[in-house]
Structure 1
């Protein structure tokens, strides 16, 4: 097994552990909503980036799936949705207003850093017409969209619960 496949398998395991550790039982429903929303969102935009030849994923774990899709199954359907779940559930809502941008920037910078390291030192991802600051911008926007969607959904859910029973 090569380095890239080991990283992919390790990332799947870490993603599952992160969900188990950081999602309290009382927040499982919210976690599922965030997770599924971000899978859908990532799939669509991941396809655009790959199909326009901006990024390439030379090494994959599921060859049959990723021949049809060509995006990173790990990143689009597991790793990033898991990080969005944790990001959204632990977003500091009651902290001073200036902490929120730091939270967004910190998570985004960490993901961008890992992607740049993988791009430079492995065959997991290859930038074709892409740079790290595109990653930074798109991840930041994705976190914002995730937060916006979940805030809207939570209000809808709370209103719905008041009308039940």
Structure 2
């Protein structure tokens, strides 16, 4: 039980420290969009894993509220997506691909270690290869959706400001 709490607490604290260190104030809105997008995507994936009994989560933070792993789906992966989004910003497509693969491997290794050393997750019909592929797809997807949300919002805010200033004359 102690190792489970240390594992999740340490993972969340490490990623929180990285986010605080890496995210600049001018990109805060975009990073919130990335975080919330990844939370939504991981919630859906986690719900499917739990409902189809692909994995079990014997130790859950909110056992009566959800069947899935709250800490991984709502804290670890979204935080990882924010760190990823900061690091890949402005990189070449080749560098983005290499960074994406590195992050997917890191998450798969983290997930493997979690299932081996803790009682937080048991894979029934799930594998680390699937974890790797999911993160390989979800990281760029959440980053792209987050950037799109922010760019659409900025365009609308600019149009409202422009329209508002014209109607004032």
Aligned-partner Cα distance in 1 for 2:152–2:51: 35
Aligned-partner Cα distance in 1 for 2:144–2:89: 14
Q: Secondary structure at the match of 2:113?
A: helix
Matched with 2:68 is 71
> Which contiguous aligned blocks of 4+ residues in structure 1 show a shift greater than 4 angstroms?
none
Normalization by structure 1: what TM-score? 0.87
Mark the structure with the bigger radius of gyration.
Answer: 2
Aligned-partner Cα distance in 1 for 2:70–2:38: 13
What do you get for the CA RMSD once the two structures are aligned?
1.7
Native 8 Å contact 1:66 1:72 kept in 2: no
Aligned-partner Cα distance in 2 for 1:100–1:24: 20
Matched with 1:45 is 45
Give the length in aligned residue pairs.
161
Matched with 1:125 is 121
Q: Does 1:83 align with 2:80?
A: yes
Normalization by structure 2: what TM-score? 0.86
Higher relative contact order (CA 8 A, sep 6+): 2
Q: Indicate which of 128, 131, 152 corresponds to 2:148.
A: 152
Aligned-partner Cα distance in 2 for 1:126–1:83: 22
